[in-house]
Chain A
C-alpha cells in the first residue's frame, strides 16, 4: 500500500472518530436535555387563572303547600331466627380437625425468625432510640480556624442492648469536613434501645450533629 493511501485512510479515520463521537455524545445530551425539559415549568403561561364569580341568581320564593306527611309504615319486625339451625348442623361431620387458637401465639416468634434479627426504623418502632450519654466533640482545628460551620446527618443502627452496630453518613455539609469527627464522636455515645410492643429491637435512627462556632 502506498504512503499517500495510508495517510488518506488515517485522516478519514480520525475525522470520523471526532465527528462520530460528537454525534453520539450530542445525541445523548440532547435526549436527556429534552427529557428534563418535560418536567420544567417555565411559569410563563398559565400561572394566573382568574375566576369570575357571578352572584347566584336569587331564588324565587314560591310558597308551596306543605306536602302531606307520608303515611308511616308499621316497623318491620326482624325475621325470627331459624329455629334449630345449629341443631340441624350439629349432626353433620365436616371432617375438620380440632383447631386450637392458643397455638397461634406460640408460632409468632418462629415464623418471623424472632424479633432479634429484625431491623426497624424510626417510624415503625413505638419508642425511637434515645441517647443517654452524649460526649462533647472536638471541633476540627482547621475548620475552626477558617470559621467553617456545618452539620452531619448520620444513620445509626442501634442494637437491642443499645450499642451502635453501624454508622452511615447520610448527608454532610460542607462535604467531608466534619465526617470523621462526627463518626468518632457519635461512636462513644450510649443509647437506650428502641422498643416495639414493649420489647427492645434493633432500629435505625437518624442523628444530626451540628457544628457551630459559638
Chain B
C-alpha cells in the first residue's frame, strides 16, 4: 500500500513537469504555517474579557502562576500589571504592551493567503506549459514519442492544475476558520484595553490625582 502510494505519487510528479516540486514545497510551507498559526491562536481560557480580568486580578493578588500560556491570559496579566504600576497615560502603554500579542495572532497570515492564491496560478502555468508541449509535438510530428508528445503534454496540463487546486482548497478552508478566530481575539484585546482604561480612570478620579480623561 505504502510503496504503491509513493510510486503512484512519483509518477504524477514526473508527469507534471517542473511545476510540481515548487507546488509541493508550497504545500509543505502552507501546512507548517497553518499548524503554527493554530497553536498561536490559543486563547488559553474560555472566559470573556471582563470575567478574565477579574479572575486574573485575583490570581495576581494571590501570587499564583498563570493558568495557561494562551494569548488572552498573557495579555490580561500584562495589562493588570501595567495598571498596577500607576502610569498615567495607560492606553498608550497598553497599546505598546499588547503589540506582541497582536503580532503573535497575525503571524503567517499573509504567507498563508499568498500561498493559497499562488498555488492555483502555478498549476495554471503548468497547464500552459503542457499545452505548449502538445502543440509543439503537433508541429514536429512527434505525436507519440516516449517523452512528451500529445499525451505527455495533456497529462502535464491536467496534473498541475489538479495539484494546484488540491494544495489551495484545504488551505483556503482552514485559513478561513483561523481568520475568524483571529478577528475575535483582536476584538477582545481591544475590549480588554477599554475595560482597563475605564477602571484606571475611575481609580484615578477616586484618588483625586488627575482630572478625568486618561
Contacts and interface: CB of A to CB of B under 8 A. Distances in A.
Which bracket fits the contact residues of B?
A: 20 to 34
A83 B5 CA distance: 85
A20 B140 contact: no
B32 A16 contact: yes
Most A CB within 10 A of own CB, among B34, B141, B166: B141
B5 A29 contact: yes
Interface in B65-112: 69, 100, 104
Contact of B145 (A11, A166, A171): A171
A170 B12 contact: no
A29 B8 CA distance: 7
Contact of B141 (A18, A27, A121): A121
A52 B154 CA distance: 46
B171 to A, nearest CB: 8
Contact of B39 (A12, A25, A172): A12
A110 interface: no
Interface stretch (B23-31, B55-63, B125-133, B198-206): B23-31
Interface of B is mostly: helix
Contact of A17 (B9, B28, B146): B28
Interface string B17-50: 0000000100110111111101110000000000
Given A171-B144, A171-B146, A20 B8 contact: no
B207 to A, nearest CB: 35
B12 A155 contact: no
A49 B183 CA distance: 65
B169 to A, nearest CB: 9
A15 B162 CA distance: 25
A15 B69 CA distance: 20
A32 B161 CA distance: 13
A170 B28 contact: no
A1 B141 CA distance: 63
Interface string B151-189: 000000000001100110010000000000000000000
Interface in A97-128: 121
Contact of A21 (B31, B38, B104): B31
Contact of B142 (A12, A33, A170): A170
B145 A13 contact: no
A175 B146 CA distance: 9
Contact of B35 (A4, A13, A175): A13
Given A17-B28, A18-B31, 19 more contacts: A8-B69, A9-B39, A12-B35, A13-B35, A13-B36, A16-B35, A20-B31, A21-B31, A24-B27, A24-B31, A24-B167, A28-B163, A29-B5, A32-B8, A33-B8, A121-B141, A168-B141, A168-B145, A171-B145
Going nearest first, the 3 A-B pairs with the smallest beta carbon separation are: A16-B35, A20-B31, A12-B39
Interface of B: 5, 8-9, 12, 24, 27-28, 30-36, 38-40, 69, 100, 104, 140-142, 144-146, 162-163, 166-167, 170
Interface of A: 1-2, 4-5, 8-21, 23-29, 31-33, 121, 155, 157, 166, 168-172, 175, 204
